[in-house]
Amino acid sequence: MGKLKQAALWTAVLALVLKLSGLLRESIVSTKFGVSSETDAYFLAFPFITLVVAMISTGFNNVFLPMYIKNRKSGEAGDHNANALLNWTMVLFVGISFVGWFGAPYFLPIMYGNMSDEIATIAIPMTQVFFAFMTVIALSGLLDSYLQSRRIFVPSQMSKLLATLFSVIFAVLFNEQWGIFSLAYGFIFGTILGVIVQLYYLFRSDYKYRLEFRMDIKFRNAFLLLIVPSLLNSVVGQVNFFVNKAFASGIDGAVTYLNNASLIISIPNAIYATTLAAIIFTLMSEQTEDRAKFKATFFRGMEISLVTLLPIAAGLLVIGDSVIAFIYEHGKFTPTDTHKTHIALMLYLPVIVFQGMQLMLSKSMYARGKTAVVFRISVTTVLINFLSNWLLVDRFGYPALAIATSIVSVYFFAVSMVVVYKDLGKEELARFGRMVPQVLIPTVIMGLVVWAAKVFVGLGSLSPVIQLATLAPLGVVVYAGMLFVFYRAGFRRFLSLLKRS
* 137-185 pLDDT per residue, tens: 888 888 887 787 676 767 777 888 888 889 888 888 888 888 889 988 9
Q: Which of 154, 188, 187, 151 is nearest to 168 (CA)?
A: 187
Indicate whether 101 pLDDT > 80: yes
pLDDT at 493: 73
Q: Which of 68, 96, 69 is nearest to 82 (CA)?
A: 68
Axis-axis angle for helices 291-328, 464-486 (nearest 10): 160
Domain ranges (residues) in the chain: 2-497
Return the half-sphere exposure (C-beta side, CA atoms, 13 A cut-off) of residue 66: 25
- Residues 8 and 500: their CA atoms lie apart, in Å, by 9
Which of 36-40, 321-325, 377-381 bottoms out in mean pLDDT, i.e. has the lowest? Answer: 377-381
27 Cβ neighbours under 8 A, 6+ residues apart? 327, 328, 330
Contact between residue 136 and residue 191 where contact means Cβ atoms under 8 Å apart: yes
The residue length of the chain stands at 501
Contact between residue 286 and residue 1 where contact means Cβ atoms under 8 Å apart: no
Instruction: Provide the pLDDT confidence category of residue 501 given band limits of 50, 70 and 90.
Output: very low
**Residue of 188 and 379 predicted with greater confidence:** 188
Contact between residue 188 and residue 174 where contact means Cβ atoms under 8 Å apart: no
pLDDT at 64: 76
**Residue of 45 and 25 predicted with greater confidence:** 45
Indicate whether 364 pLDDT > 50: yes
- Residues 450 and 444: their CA atoms lie apart, in Å, by 10
The helix (H) or strand (E) run that includes residue 16 is helix 2-33
- Residue 150 is given by DSSP the state T
Sign of CA dihedral 424, 430, 432, 433: positive
Between the alpha carbon of residue 398 and those of residues 19, 327, 328, 383, the distances in Å are 25, 21, 19, 19
Contact between residue 59 and residue 230 where contact means Cβ atoms under 8 Å apart: yes
pLDDT at 443: 94
246 Cβ neighbours under 8 A, 6+ residues apart? 111, 112, 113, 114
Instruction: Provide the pLDDT confidence category of residue 125 given band limits of 50, 70 and 90.
Output: very high
Indicate whether 69 pLDDT > 90: no
- Residues 189 and 407: their CA atoms lie apart, in Å, by 37
Which of 104-118, 131-145, 230-244, 467-481 bottoms out in mean pLDDT, i.e. has the lowest? Answer: 230-244
- Residues 93 and 130: their CA atoms lie apart, in Å, by 12
- Residues 351 and 268: their CA atoms lie apart, in Å, by 11
**Residue of 22 and 275 predicted with greater confidence:** 22
Look over the chain and give the mean of its residue pLDDT values, rounded to a whole number.
79
Which of 56-70, 204-218, 320-334 bottoms out in mean pLDDT, i.e. has the lowest? Answer: 56-70
Which of 35-44, 389-398, 484-493 bottoms out in mean pLDDT, i.e. has the lowest? Answer: 389-398
Instruction: Provide the pLDDT confidence category of residue 395 given band limits of 50, 70 and 90.
Output: confident
Axis-axis angle for helices 37-45, 254-274 (nearest 10): 40
- Residues 40 and 42: their CA atoms lie apart, in Å, by 5
Contact between residue 326 and residue 464 where contact means Cβ atoms under 8 Å apart: yes
Between the alpha carbon of residue 172 and those of residues 13, 29, 163, 179, 180, the distances in Å are 25, 9, 15, 10, 11
Indicate whether 1 pLDDT > 50: no
> String of b and e for 33-42 (b: at least 16 CB within 10 Å)?
bbbbbbbbbb
Q: Which of 306, 412, 418, 437 is nearest to 358 (CA)?
A: 412
Indicate whether 267 pLDDT > 90: no
**Cα Rg of the chain (Å, integer):** 22
